[in-house]
């Protein structure tokens, strides 16, 4: 359902114009039944009716000009309301109703009160001049008060309609900003994950190509160089697969199960670096969110990369216990580097933590989901 469907009719919109046309029609119908004896009464009725129509048209565009015209209509017709068969009361009522509908902003109801006082005084003068009884005077006041209350109620309705529309517009803008922020955050996460995947894959690929070049240049070992080139091709394919997995996780698509993905990563590391990687999986099988799987897999990949860089040839031990992954290798590095700091930030996005530091003679990295 669209937001506009929840809104009341727009103020001074189609419903406002329909109401004014109907009001004008009622005024014309009532005035058509008037039978005042004096010609000057007809002149007053005709002129003030024209002023009423103009004032109604200007209510939105020129509220204070409209106020002046409608006030003139109300007071003038209140002065002749006591004339027999003038039917001037109808113009008083429609004019005072329109005055009550106008929104005067900071001035509030003061213009309406002023017009009301003027109309009440004009009724008193008309009752005295045309010798109307007190009951007539109070009945005119009663009708005027009722129509004024109706106008005030209509104005309150229109003010609330405007406020509701403004609130819904602000809500829409806030939702748009939230969606934009979420999109930017997702792009940042994709960029960080792809950075880690590509840094790992391209780094290993570069090492293999350098070895192949050295084998050809220094030893002329074509077979050994060819094997390194084939291994480079496998690394490139693996990097593409891991990049797709990272994007799939952020899109909530299916990614490989974490134990199988870690086993494949360990096997590939052994082939690339000639270093044993012992993987131990404990605890029962558990279905993990794709984003959690990619975050833990990225932490394992970064830890293996650091082990190969800072402790080449040393056996690496990986242990997965539910949602706790630890990677241990001999030899202590001098620092975490950007990669682990980035993985710590990424794990935090899925409710996880990452610690890295010396554990005796070993270097231990632990990634865990709370």
DSSP class per residue in 164-183: HHHHHHHHHHHHHHHHHHHH
Top mean pLDDT of 32-46, 165-179, 304-318, 338-352 is at 32-46
Dump pLDDT digits (tens) for 266-277: 888 887 777 888
Q: Is the pLDDT of residue 15 over 50?
A: no
Strand 324-330 with 316-321, pairing: antiparallel
**pTM value?**
0.45
Tell me which of 88-97, 199-208, 346-355 is least confident: 199-208
For residue 140, the cross-strand partners are none
Q: Is the pLDDT of residue 336 over 80?
A: no
If one compares 290 and 154, the residue with the highest pLDDT of the two is 154
If one compares 124 and 31, the residue with the highest pLDDT of the two is 124
Is the CB of residue 350 less than 8 Å from the CB of residue 295? yes
Q: What is the mean pLDDT of residues 183-190?
A: 67
Q: What phi, psi does 360 have (nearest 5°)?
A: 70, -125
DSSP result, 85-152: T--THHHHHHHHHHHHHS--GGGTTHHHHHHHHHHHHHHHHHHHHTT--HHHHHHHHHHHHHHHHHHH
Token couple for 365:
């990295």
Q: What is the pLDDT of residue 60?
A: 80
Q: What is the pLDDT of residue 186?
A: 63
Q: Please, which pLDDT band fits residue 212 given cuts at 50, 70 and 90?
A: confident
Q: What is the pLDDT of residue 128?
A: 92
d(CA 156, CA 112): 14
d(CA 35, CA 23): 21
Q: Smallest Cα–Cα separation from 200: which of 226, 229, 238, 230?
A: 238
If one compares 349 and 132, the residue with the highest pLDDT of the two is 132
Q: What is the pLDDT of residue 17?
A: 66
Token couple for 108:
């509030």
Q: What is the pLDDT of residue 247?
A: 64
Q: Average per-residue pLDDT in the chain? A: 78
Q: Please, which pLDDT band fits residue 231 given cuts at 50, 70 and 90?
A: confident
Percentage of residues in the chain having pLDDT higher than 70: 81
If one compares 38 and 22, the residue with the highest pLDDT of the two is 38
Q: What is the pLDDT of residue 47?
A: 92
Top mean pLDDT of 44-58, 195-209, 248-262 is at 44-58
Please list, in sequence order, all residues whose beta carbon lies within 8 angstroms of the beta carbon of residue 89, skipping any fewer than 6 positions away: 77, 81, 140, 143
- Cα angle at 175 between 173 and 180, to 5 degrees? 95
């Amino acid at each position: 359902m669209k937001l506009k469907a929840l809104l009341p009719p727009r103020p001074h919109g189609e419903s406002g114009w329909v109401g004014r046309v109907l009001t004008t029609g009622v005024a014309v119908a009532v005035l058509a039944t008037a039978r005042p004896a004096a010609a000057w009464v007809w002149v007053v009725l005709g002129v003030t009716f024209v002023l009423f129509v103009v004032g109604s048209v200007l209510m939105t565009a020129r509220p204070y000009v409209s106020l002046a015209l409608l006030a003139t209509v109300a007071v003038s017709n209140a002065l002749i309301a006591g004339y027999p068969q003038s039917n001037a009361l109808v113009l008083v009522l429609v004019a005072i109703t329109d005055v009550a509908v106008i929104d005067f902003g900071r001035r509030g109801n003061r213009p309406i009160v002023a017009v009301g006082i003027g109309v009440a005084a004009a009724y008193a003068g008309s009752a005295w001049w045309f010798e109307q009884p007190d009951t007539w005077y109070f009945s005119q006041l009663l009708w005027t008060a009722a129509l004024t209350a109706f106008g005030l109620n209509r104005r309150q309705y229109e003010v609330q309609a405007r406020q509701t529309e403004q609130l819904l517009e602000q809500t829409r803008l806030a939702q748009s900003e939230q969606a934009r922020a979420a999109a930017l955050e997702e792009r940042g996460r994709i960029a960080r994950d792809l950075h880690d995947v590509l840094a790992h894959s391209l780094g290993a690929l570069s090492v293999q190509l350098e070895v192949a070049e050295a084998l050809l240049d220094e030893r002329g070992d074509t077979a050994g160089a060819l094997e390194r080139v084939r291994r480079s091709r496998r690394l490139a394919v693996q990097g593409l697969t891991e990049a797709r997995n990272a994007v799939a996780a952020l899109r909530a698509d299916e990614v490989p199960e974490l134990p199988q993905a870690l086993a494949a990563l360990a096997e590939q590391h052994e082939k690339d670096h000639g270093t044993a990687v012992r993987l131990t999986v404990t605890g029962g099988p558990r279905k993990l969110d794709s984003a959690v799987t990619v975050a833990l897999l990225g932490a394992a990949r970064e830890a293996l990369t650091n082990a190969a860089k800072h402790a080449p040839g040393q056996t690496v031990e990986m242990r997965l216990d539910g949602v706790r992954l630890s990677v241990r290798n001999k030899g202590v590095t001098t620092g975490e580097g950007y990669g682990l700091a980035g993985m710590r930030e990424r794990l935090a996005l899925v409710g996880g933590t990452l610690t890295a530091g010396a554990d005796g003679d070993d270097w231990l990295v632990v990634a865990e989901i709370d």
